[in-house]
Amino acid sequence: MKLDRYFVAGTAVAAVVAGWSGAASAQEVLTAWFTKGFYKGEDDALLAVVDKFQKATGVKVELSLYATEDCVTKSVGAVDAGTPPDVGFCTTYDFRTTGKWAYDGKLEDVSDVIEPLKSEFQPMALSTTFLMNGKAGKKSYYAFPVEQQMMHITYWKDMLEEAGFKEADIPKTWNGYWDFWCDKVQGAMRAKGKRVYGIGHPMGIAASDTFYSFLTFANAYNAKVVDENGKIVLDQPENKKAMVEAVKSYANIFQRGCTPPSSVNWLDPDNNVAFHNRTTVATHNATISIAGKHMDDMNNAALTAEQRATAKKNYEDNIRTAEFPLKADGSKMTNLAAVKTAVIFADAKNKKRAKEFMAFFMKDENLRPFVEGSAGRWVPTTLKGIEAPFWSDGKDPHRAVVYKQYKDGTVPFQFVYNYNFTTVNAENVWAKAVNRVVQDKIPAEQAVDEMIARIKQIAG
């Protein structure tokens, strides 16, 4: 059968294939909404998958690409109105909507697609799609783990050297690491008359960067917020104590003048902008898009040869991507990873074809080009994908670090275990607690008490 050529690889999708209806009528349509790629390669890879699927099935795919915020906003409106697309993939679904939709019964159970593919996924990534359906009273697979992101440190190697230090001088211990950038590097640059800051430290309440970064600090202090059943455990003495230390540590970077004063109002792009402008020496970010900007520039024919050469020098030599230091207790950091999820909606008009499309899309030969098209901004969720030369050959200085971070181990964010944490994150109780300390001058213990009370009010 013609379909086999495109869809069948051993028995990987046999459960779905058995239910296929074969060639479509001329009128059959599948609707899909995706976030528009950050890079052209992402969109090109997606369009290639759509084209192959259409040729194989005769189903017309009406694909719409939206900007990040528009994608999720439009999706929420369509779900509420009962008129969603068949397939949705927005890169903020995971921490904004997926868990809540699953709990409210708004998503289709896709276990029949996932089960035959389970062995191909990284276990942690797959676990984030096993979600509770409050109406059904049980967990099941309600999403597809398409790609993921992790937190990274980015710094200017040439600015570090200008300050009189080598990369080998950077400490590995938690407090020593931040002291190095704040006191030694920033201090040396100020002594040279340079008005730069050691760290670009996201603090804005409206920025998702802030809660990604702060929760990494919480992870460094082993502050547990919920257990795997979604029960809040932050009020337990050992967790509360650890969270207080995380708030103190995060606030301290601002309090000692190590980040621009404007960082309390930063939105997501602002730490990138400060870094590119060389007003900060180092920053932390949830993707390697900061380095990726220079990779874009070095390949941009619209720029001059001199500009491209500068961008190439920056990408290959001057900008470094690095792991976070050891945890506060000296143990190795296990990296928080946010898994970007695609879904099929319960009210979709063509769920049968939607499952066929996602079974096709999640195959390695289709998914890998899509993820790699992001030039490292997104990380694979499949075992084959992460071991592909694109990540594992060590030739790219930035992707090699991401690969090592993956090998060091990943853990999911807490919103996977309790869908109400999508609201907790949207409200950014984490940033509010830090800003209560740095702007309102209250003790960290009080800020954490307020944080716990609000989390219980929202998610308890």
pLDDT of the residue at 27: 56
- Euclidean distance between CA atoms 17 and 14, whole angstroms: 5
pLDDT of the residue at 9: 34
pLDDT of the residue at 307: 97
Beta bridge partners of 153: 284, 322
Architecture of domain 152-286+428-459: 3-Layer(aba) Sandwich (3.40)
pLDDT of the residue at 2: 31
Residue pLDDT, tens place only, 273-302: 999 999 999 999 999 999 999 999 999 999
Residue pLDDT, tens place only, 201-259: 999 999 989 999 999 999 999 999 999 889 999 999 999 999 999 999 999 999 999 99
Beta bridge partners of 175: none
Alpha carbon 448 to its chain centroid, in Å, reads 25
Question: Where do you find CATH 3.40.190.10 in the chain?
Answer: 2-150+338-412, 152-286+428-459
Region 53-70: what's the mean pLDDT? 95
Residue 6 has pLDDT above 50, yes or no: no
Structure tokens at 139: 């967990």
Residue 7 has pLDDT above 80, yes or no: no
pLDDT of the residue at 426: 85
CATH number of 2-150+338-412: 3.40.190.10
- Euclidean distance between CA atoms 86 and 295, whole angstroms: 35
Residue pLDDT, tens place only, 151-196: 999 999 999 999 999 999 999 999 999 999 999 999 999 999 999 9
Please give the C-alpha separations between residue 75 and each of 36, 97, 189, 354, in angstroms, as whole numbers: 14, 9, 47, 16
* Contact assessment for residue 452 and residue 248, using Cβ atoms and an 8 Å cutoff: no
pLDDT of the residue at 10: 34
Residue pLDDT, tens place only, 320-362: 999 999 999 999 999 999 999 999 999 999 999 999 999 999 9
pLDDT of the residue at 24: 54
How confident is residue 146, by pLDDT bands cut at 50, 70 and 90? very high
Residue 414 has pLDDT above 50, yes or no: yes
Q: Which of 7-21, 399-413, 431-445 has the lowest mean pLDDT?
A: 7-21
Q: Which residue type is seen at 274?
A: A
pLDDT of the residue at 11: 35
pLDDT of the residue at 415: 84
Residue 61 backbone class (left: φ over 0; alpha: ψ -120 to 50; beta: rest): beta
Residue 313 has pLDDT above 90, yes or no: yes
pLDDT of the residue at 460: 78
pLDDT of the residue at 311: 97
pLDDT of the residue at 15: 38
CB-based contacts of 327, cutoff 8 Å, min separation 6: 174, 219, 220, 221, 222, 333
Helix locations, 22-67, DSSP H? 40-57
Residue pLDDT, tens place only, 77-130: 999 999 999 999 999 999 889 999 999 999 999 999 999 999 999 999 999 999
pLDDT of the residue at 20: 47
pLDDT of the residue at 26: 52
pLDDT of the residue at 16: 45
Region 261-274: what's the mean pLDDT? 96
pLDDT of the residue at 23: 55
